Structure 1
Amino acid sequence: MQFFLTFLSLALAFRTASAAAVSSRALPGFVQTNGTRFSLDGQKYTVVGANAYWISLAGLSNKDLDKSFSDIASMGATSVRVWGHNEMSEQYIYPAGIVYQIWSGNKAKVNYGENGLGYFDRVIASARKHNLRLIVALTSNYNQDYITGGINTYIKQVLGRDEFHEVFFTNSEIKSAYKSYVTAVVERYKEEATILSWELGHHLKCSVSWHPYNPKCSTEAITSWIQEMSSHIKTIDPNHLVAVGDEGFYNREGNSRWIYNGRDGIDFEANIALKSIDYGTFAYRPESYELRNTEEPLQWIEEHGKSQARAGKPVVLADIGLEIRESWLDKVVSSGIAGTLYWQAGSDGISLNMPFWFHGDSISTASTAYVNLRKHAEALKKQ
């Protein structure tokens, strides 16, 4: 009996030590998870703030970078979601444009210059100055008028033609190209505590509005890709959190609604269960998601709160906008959702060095929505 108790004690001690090793894998000063919440050096950290993809692409002066981040910080933000990518064919690069990966035919090279990752260094420095941490998306489901890169760039450059988006997740050459870029970026910033997390991509899925939908789109293929890429990042960088960056679509048998039945290749619950994924993300676009009556939009939030509890990991509403109602923000808090990022921040009176369209696609600091978001940030921090 004594031998058994001694063995059990040693086993429990080993298990505890192993768990402690996992929870303290990052260097001090890096945001981590603690159950369904985030933490920073043993204290609660609330992920609340804004999307601002244009900040890392618009070639801003240091003065305008500081103003942009200052405006975001003024609403009580702790975190900002930005693009850590812009993969462009050399024929579409315009003067003063920021491009992080330059494609020539089916070959790509990382741009470390002042109009590439050298600029991203300045973005990080300005965010740090304003006590903000960055959630960095490593690609996007969308290519915007050859101004920003994304999945289509990889597909067209590697294959030499347009294709269903599913090939991004299954073609070995495309996967290798994406992994090569991710490796370069993650290696460069793996000890930068201003970065909160890496996101594999913005709104990753098989479909895109301007391209035919592939009926063969597979949730299994995308989940396998997520596991491969997130595990790869973890082997390089033990300090930063990793998330998918998806819209939180479910894959539930017997549900006819497309946001619940896996049609777009996303299985939120399978993806957040992966060991190499630290927290979940979802978006809130009631009209786009055909959440039409009063209750359905609120149910979408509640469902992700329940998923958070089941997974035992934080879930962040990573994209809410442009219309924002107080009742929606209240539901985020009551559902226990770990964080909120609105779409998206804007900043008046700055000089954009490229044809960016964020004006009109942003929430004014003088708006009622902005006032409500400030209150919401306070409520989340009190959770």
Structure 2
Amino acid sequence: MLAGNGLFCPLLGFASCAVFIYMTLGDLKFFFREPKMEFVRRNGTQFVEGGKEFYVNGWNSYWLMDQAVEEYSRPRVTKMLHAGAKMGLTVCRTWAFNDAGYNALQLKPGEFDERVFKALDRVIAEARHHGIRLILCLVNNLHAYGGKAQYVQWAWEEGSASSRSNDSFFSDSSIRHHFKNYVKTMLTRRNRFTGVEYRNDPTIFAWELMNEPRCTTDPSGSSLQGWIKEMAEFVKSIDKNHLLTVGVEGFYSAATAKKFHVNPGDWASSLGTDFVENSRIAAIDFASVHTYPDSWCPGLSFTEKMKFVSEWISSHIDDGDQDLKKPVLFAEFGLSSKTDNFQPGHRYQYYKRVYDLLYEAAKATRSGAGAMPWQFLVDDMDEYGDAFAIVPWRIPSIYKLITRQSCRLAAIRHGKSSSKLLAECP
């Protein structure tokens, strides 16, 4: 064990694997010094960095900015990023928004709390120090941390809103204006610790327009499609360095009716979103998918849920290969501990299924670009948890599984060295 930080030390095989990667390939430089980063780009269905494919073995910790505000909670951020680095993880997805709530970044339209913005500066600087890149999400479809409902409330209070419907976020001109101002402020922010504008910082892997956008008042999908196109082009007009994704869950609508059978239920086609059409927009660089068999398919047995997961992942990788010609990132996947008959071994099997499918896709140079569990916490953060959250080092079998995936993907990236590298994996 590592004294004083509560982390389980990886098995000796992975320790030697990490050292080997560093000494021969330079991937896990966080063991020794702050790494030099280049922007990750897209080449067809692949992410690339420095002339080589870049694979995402990452995780979600939405709470990093929030916990970086107060001095007493900042060590949680350091501990999480350090732990991710030791597992060989490459990307963390986190919130770059907090609208009108406790420790709000945006107090009201166009008014920001510098103390909270400095916390996000700190997160980005700390991530770079640990060799971790960030996917920064810009707004929530859900109510947590403000989300689209807060923008609608602001517009209503100032008398400019056309409707009190939360979905007016996508169509109301005053709300779109407020969101664009937020985006511009975020992209052009100069980090107080590094001196680098966000739009010029390769620590940021990508921007995500919205967490799980849905527009149920317009099941045709035209409202959301128009909003995505407008906002994606606006982001690119300011920041041409970074990748951009939408943040959709991956459901198919009438626009892709041939894929209805892949949806978890008939309800999934009426949410105003379509995975293929939303991801096809030219300014969108890669597609995102979420995977929640417990929430979406509550009546299925565990075996049936795993069958759904396999078909769901395979279908979206096919879309990336054959239709979109873009990488497909499984940006959230999770298994609830609060379902009937849950067994801890189920979570291991689920993680393994997802990782194996993405590993096989990477070996075949397919569009499956990686996967990111929802969500990781550090010790003593129960108030930030949910039924999907884990502290990885508390579960040695999953910790080993995660580090092995990092090692396997590093081996693919480095080609001829892969046999020796794989032999050193845990």
The TM-score normalised by the length of structure 2 is 0.72
User: 1:237: Cα distance to partner?
Assistant: 0.6
- In 2, the alpha carbon distance for the partners of 1:38 and 1:328 equals 19
Q: What is the aligned partner in structure 2 of residue 25 from structure 1?
A: none
Give me the identity figure in percent: 29
1:358 equivalent to 2:358? Answer no
Does the aligned pair in 2 maintain the 1:137–1:202 contact within 8 Å?
yes
Moved more, 357-366 or 282-291: 357-366
1:176 equivalent to 2:147? Answer no
Q: What is the aligned partner in structure 2 of residue 246 from structure 1?
A: 248
Q: What is the aligned partner in structure 2 of residue 265 from structure 1?
A: 272
Does the aligned pair in 2 maintain the 1:179–1:229 contact within 8 Å?
yes
Does the aligned pair in 1 maintain the 2:219–2:273 contact within 8 Å?
no
Q: Which of 195, 198, 202 is 2:207 aligned to?
A: 198
- In 2, the alpha carbon distance for the partners of 1:376 and 1:287 equals 24
Q: Letter of the 1:186 partner, please give it.
A: L
User: 1:137: Cα distance to partner?
Assistant: 0.1
- What secondary structure, in the 3-state scheme, does the structure 2 residue paired with 1:318 have? strand
Q: Tell me the alpha carbon deviations over residues 109-138 of structure 1, each in whole angstroms, 9 at most, x when there is no partner.
A: 331512x21111001111011000110000
Q: Tell me the alpha carbon deviations over residues 265-292 of structure 1, each in whole angstroms, 9 at most, x when there is no partner.
A: 1111112211100000000101222283
- In 2, the alpha carbon distance for the partners of 1:112 and 1:187 equals 16
1:344 equivalent to 2:365? Answer no
User: 1:250: Cα distance to partner?
Assistant: 1.4
Q: Which of 9, 14, 33 is 2:42 aligned to?
A: 33
Q: Tell me the alpha carbon deviations over residues 48-98 of structure 1, each in whole angstroms, 9 at most, x when there is no partner.
A: 21110111112354543221210122221010001011111xxx44xxx2x
Alpha carbons of 1:276 and 1:259: their partners in 2 closer, same or farther (altered >3 Å)? farther
The TM-score normalised by the length of structure 1 is 0.80
Moved more, 124-133 or 320-329: 320-329
Does the aligned pair in 1 maintain the 2:251–2:274 contact within 8 Å?
yes
Does the aligned pair in 1 maintain the 2:93–2:136 contact within 8 Å?
yes
Q: What is the aligned partner in structure 2 of residue 222 from structure 1?
A: 224
Does the aligned pair in 1 maintain the 2:110–2:178 contact within 8 Å?
no
Q: What is the aligned partner in structure 2 of residue 285 from structure 1?
A: 292
- What secondary structure, in the 3-state scheme, does the structure 2 residue paired with 1:198 have? strand
Q: Which of 298, 308, 316 is 2:329 aligned to?
A: 316
Q: What is the aligned partner in structure 1 of residue 409 from structure 2?
A: 380
Q: What is the aligned partner in structure 2 of residue 233 from structure 1?
A: 235
Moved more, 57-66 or 193-202: 57-66
Q: Letter of the 2:334 partner, please give it.
A: G
- What secondary structure, in the 3-state scheme, does the structure 2 residue paired with 1:38 have? strand
Q: What is the aligned partner in structure 2 of residue 130 from structure 1?
A: 130
Does the aligned pair in 2 maintain the 1:84–1:136 contact within 8 Å?
yes
- In 1, the alpha carbon distance for the partners of 2:213 and 2:411 equals 32
- What secondary structure, in the 3-state scheme, does the structure 2 residue paired with 1:87 have? coil
Does the aligned pair in 2 maintain the 1:259–1:289 contact within 8 Å?
no
Q: Letter of the 1:196 partner, please give it.
A: F
- What secondary structure, in the 3-state scheme, does the structure 1 residue paired with 2:58 have? strand
- What secondary structure, in the 3-state scheme, does the structure 2 residue paired with 1:53 have? coil
Does the aligned pair in 1 maintain the 2:333–2:372 contact within 8 Å?
yes
- What secondary structure, in the 3-state scheme, does the structure 2 residue paired with 1:262 have? helix
Give unpaired runs (5+ residues) of structure 1. 1-27, 208-213
Greater share of helix residues, 1 or 2?
2
Q: What is the aligned partner in structure 2 of residue 306 from structure 1?
A: 318
User: 1:298: Cα distance to partner?
Assistant: 1.0
Alpha carbons of 1:380 and 1:359: their partners in 2 closer, same or farther (altered >3 Å)? same
Q: Letter of the 1:36 partner, please give it.
A: T
1:101 equivalent to 2:106? Answer yes
